[in-house]
Amino acid sequence: MKWVTRARPKVDRIACPWLIKRFVDGEAEFLYVSPDKVMEIAKQEGATPFDVPNVELGHHGSECSFDAIINKYNLKDPALEILAPIVRGADTDAKDLTSESRGLEAIAEGFRLVFQNDDELLEREMPVYDALYAYCREKIPRR
């Protein structure tokens, strides 16, 4: 399945593809296009738009697109419950939502500065979210 969003991704537009690839669609293909072309390309390619205004998989209230994907696909994973507020804080004005949010925002911006090609940026930054997910798994209380 194809997914489309705005070019020059920041936190949510990398975190969402990670979430989709790991939990929704392992064969997902991501298209990064200019903001004014997202809906047009979505229609042409049969792609699902995300992290753009007025779409199901976008920001709603205090929640970001990462939250919307978790909700739509009913992802029930304790580590994702820990990871979601980290991403939300890094991606929204709630920078102090978690102690990790500002660090994630800084790391994401650093990757954006190093990699100018959006596809390469996504590929290179995916391990950051793998590591952050592993960190969150370790925070799950043992029963």
In a domain, 101, yes or no: yes
| Residue 99 maps to a domain | yes
Residue 68, in any domain of the structure: yes
Amino acid found at 11: V
**Per the domain annotation, does 143 fall within a domain?**
no
Q: What's the rounded mean pLDDT across residues 32-38?
A: 97
66 located within any domain: yes
Cβ 30 vs Cβ 18: under 8 Å: no
98: Cα separation from own chain's centroid: 17
State which residues form the domain around 80.
Answer: 2-138
pLDDT per position as a tens digit, 118-127: 999 999 999 9
Confidence class for position 48, pLDDT limits 50, 70, 90? very high
* pLDDT per residue as tens digits for the range 69-104: 999 999 999 999 999 999 999 999 999 999 999 999
Choice between 143 and 75, residue whose per-residue pLDDT is larger:
75
Residue 104 lies in a domain: yes
- Report the predicted TM-score, pTM, of the whole model to 2 decimal places: 0.95
Name the domain count of the chain. Answer: 1
Residues 6+ apart with CB under 8 A from 9: 32, 112, 118, 121, 122
Note the pLDDT of residue 143. 67
